[in-house]
Chains A and B, each alone.
Chain A
Amino acid sequence: MSEALLAQEVGTAPAAVPASGARQFWRRLRAQRSAVVAASVVAFLVLVALAAPLLTALEGQDPNTFHPSLVDSAAGGVPLGSFGGISAEHWLGVEPQTGRDLFARIVYGARVSLGVAVFATLLQVFLGVVIGLAAGLGNRAVDQVLSRITDVNVAMPLMVIALALLAVVPPEFPRPVLIALVVGLINWAGTSKIVRAQTLALKSLDYVSAARLSGWGKWKIAHREMLPSLAAPVITYAALLVPQNITVEAALSFLGVGIKPPTPSWGQMLTDADVWYQAAPSYLLIPAALLFVTVLALTVLGEGVRTALDPRSQSRLGGVRRGLLSRRKGGAQ
């Protein structure tokens, strides 16, 4: 079953032990330095996004005002000054052609990009868990139907569907919400596959069988026994989905169906910036670096969460390390 593989990709074999209490989880998460750093970075980004109006007020700029005097119109609108026009007024310089403040656009862009990505991810996770659980716990017919629907979902080329759907919905509909909806509705198959595989594996485990024997209903089992065990793989996978969804938003921008101007987003900035690489490198490098930091932080955090939720993997790692150490010692002798 390829579903099992996806589960393995996110690093979880069916856990024998359901995740234990929240306190233990936090303790184990805090114990990992990299995870703490990653969590701080993510928290910082979220804060920046939330505080965008404050930050730009502090800088004294806003994301939509044009500054034609700050670009060289005859040279295609390249920012005047060094490093893309970085100055005390414009902390990260200005956008080529328009002269709009890059710092303001970046922090406001974080709102849109992170917001869309997080909302889309939540939707994907919700749909994935519901459909995956239903397939895993349901009878053969239910499983067959849901699995085939999942296959249809996998086989849909995201961009084609997104293009078609975005054209159908009236332009008055708020675009960020729409993008999050479309991405969420089209890309839930990964989560549902993991959840189904995990559910099937758990179903055969002793404590679940015991619960079933003691007369618990399916949804009670799902609620009490399955969901806690699903948390580890789902959260880990979700941490991978967020950055992926940010790049999907960027991808939609290429097709002209992304976030609508003048609203800034990282994806849109990257799209516009790539040809400017030679003339105004900072225009490309700043959003690219931010996206990289975000992806890195989320990945590391995801890994940390997985480790904290699935103590077995930690002991496994520990075991390996011990093995390595002992061998070294042996070598020294």
Chain B
Amino acid sequence: MTGFLLRRLGGAVFVLLSLSVFLYLVFYVAPGNVAQIACGPRCSPAQVAQVHEQLRLGDPLWLQYAHFVQGIFAGRDYSSGVGVLHCNAPCLGVSYQSDQQVTQLILNKLPVTGSLVIGAFALWLLLGVGTGVLSVWRRGRPTERVLTWLTLAGTATPVFVIGLLLIIVFCSTLQWLPFPTYVPFGENPEQWAWNLLLAWVSLAAIESAKYARLTRSSMLETLAEDHVRTFRAYGVSERALVGRHALRGAVAPVIALSALDFGSMFGGAVLTESLFGLPGLGRELVEAVKVVDLPVVVGMVLVTGFFVVLANAVADLLYAVADRRVVLS
């Protein structure tokens, strides 16, 4: 177990290092005059040069990277003009464009994305597994076909279409729900949920098909196993077989797969975040790429990458717990 954790930790460091180096390299060659963008479109060459110097953009690439790594362990100082501000370790740098500390920026956005992902996660599990179970229970009948079509329709429709239609129907026409805006959980848990509901549904609509298929195939596999046949021969009802034995077979893969999606959703739900006015990580990330805000991009990719790696490890752990035959590697 300790060995597994250590190896995973080493792997995580490797992954995050490679990601940050890669991003530094790509952004180094990418077009976009960072200093001009940060300074403003009508800045004079002299002013741009000043900003260029202030952001230390003239440093060689390796030195910029070294400063970045140094900031993570030792923090950094930077000028606000009137005085010196300190960015405590782990300091992921300061935004080129907004002067915000990246660490703080991430801490602000994380609860938003977290709220979105957690709720959507619960919902897609419920929808996906539920549909999967139903389609096994009703296999070969029209119900199964309708369910399959419904979940596939979710997959085939881009999230912005589903989301906008949901908003038009439920917020505009029927007015059953408030137009979504982010309300922190700590402020008002009920409003938090009502405001996020449609965003959760939109994401779940996209994800659940995969889970329905996974659940279905795992369950069918189990149902074909010898011991289930034996149960059946002993007269155990089909309902009990599907509901108890077969479902148990689907638990491990479903938990593990959802842990993976859970991780990648942290930086990936950009469109959902934009449409539903959620100031989350994904949206901020894409906006930062657009203005060549390297510190923000690297910081956020490291955090979202961390979640992916973490979820990966958790998935493997859970799978090992659920299935003793698996050896952790």
Contact = CB atoms under 8 A, between A and B. Distances in A.
Contacts of A156: 19, 22, 301, 305
Contact of B220 (A247, A284, A316): A316
Interface string A275-295: 101100000100010011011
A316 B222 CA distance: 10
Contacts of B315: 2, 5
B223 A320 contact: yes
Interface string A179-192: 00000000000000
Interface in B10-65: 11, 14-16, 18-19, 22-23, 26-27, 29-32
Contacts of A316: 220-221, 223-224
16 contacts: A2-B319, A5-B252, A9-B210, A148-B11, A154-B264, A155-B308, A157-B301, A159-B285, A167-B30, A167-B32, A168-B30, A271-B160, A288-B156, A292-B152, A292-B156, A295-B152
Interface stretch (B88-96, B180-188, B253-261): B253-261
A4 B161 CA distance: 33
B232 interface: yes
Interface string B229-246: 100100000100000000
A13 interface: yes
Contacts of A291: 156-157
Which of A155, A254, A320 has most B Cβ within 10 Å? A155
Interface residues of B, number: 68
Interface residues of A, number: 56
A317 interface: yes
Contact of A317 (B220, B305, B309): B220
Interface of B: 11, 14-16, 18-19, 22-23, 26-27, 29-32, 139-140, 149, 152-153, 155-158, 160-161, 164-165, 168, 210, 213-214, 217-218, 220-221, 223-224, 229, 232, 238, 252-253, 256-257, 259-260, 264, 267-268, 270-271, 282, 285-286, 289-290, 297, 301, 304-305, 308-309, 312, 315-316, 319, 326, 329
A89 interface: no
A311 to B, nearest CB: 13
A11 B217 contact: yes
Interface in A181-236: none
Contacts of B218: 8
